[in-house]
Amino acid sequence: MKKRVVSLIISAFIGCSCILTVMASSGLDLNVLRKGEDIQYTESNRDDIAVYALSSIAKNNNDVYYSEDGSIVSFTPAILARKKSDSMTYCYDIKFTSNRFLNLKQVTFIIGNVNYIFSDISAIFNYPYSTTSGKYEEETFLSLDDGSIQMLADIAENRDNQGEPVKVILEGSNESFTLIMNDELTNGMIHLYNLFVNAGGTSESNQYLFPFATWKLSLIHI
């Protein structure tokens, strides 16, 4: 499954590279990611693409959640970089596998008293019903930009203040699926974010916009 995630991201990246919007770059240091603890990465000189993920999460399936009805959600954080343009993005690959079709419309992160709501998501990949597994598969890709990356800082602050675990709600046309982020995924996500910051990823000049993965972000303070 992990190889499929990386393949999907790379394929989408190549497919939209001709219309990728990149700011003038400066100060990006990919060696911070390459030498980072618990990092596994795949780099392609031919395609100018590098994908950095957490090896422990992939090994131990800490990003996978199961429900009583047999539904499965994988929630995988990663960093994508284009080496020639010195630009990168922090992203999530979210996959829902079930015996029913969710028809995903919205993803909500509940962090303390703030809700980050990603709606009107354009990057929804629906896979045909599998007669072998008896399941449907839906996958979405969230690429965080300068306006939404603050969510990761809020997750770190919530953890440091011993707040309630972060909840993630996948909302479809007729139902929703709620998962509570475990400590391993939370800590790994923050670790990856710290590497992203140290590598220069939060600088606006080092970010790129993913035109195929658009969404609308709303913040609600409870």
pTM of the model: 0.83
Residues 6 or more apart whose Cβ sits within 8 Å of residue 162 = none
Higher pLDDT: 165 or 59? It is: 165
The pLDDT-based confidence of 131 (bands split at 50, 70, 90) is: low
**Alpha-helix runs per DSSP H in 42-84:** 55-60
The pLDDT-based confidence of 99 (bands split at 50, 70, 90) is: confident
Q: Is the pLDDT of residue 146 over 60?
A: yes
CA 71 to CA 76: how far, in whole Å? 16
Average pLDDT of every residue of the chain: 81
| Neighbouring C-beta atoms of residue 160, cutoff 10 Å | 9
| DSSP structural state of residue 59 | H
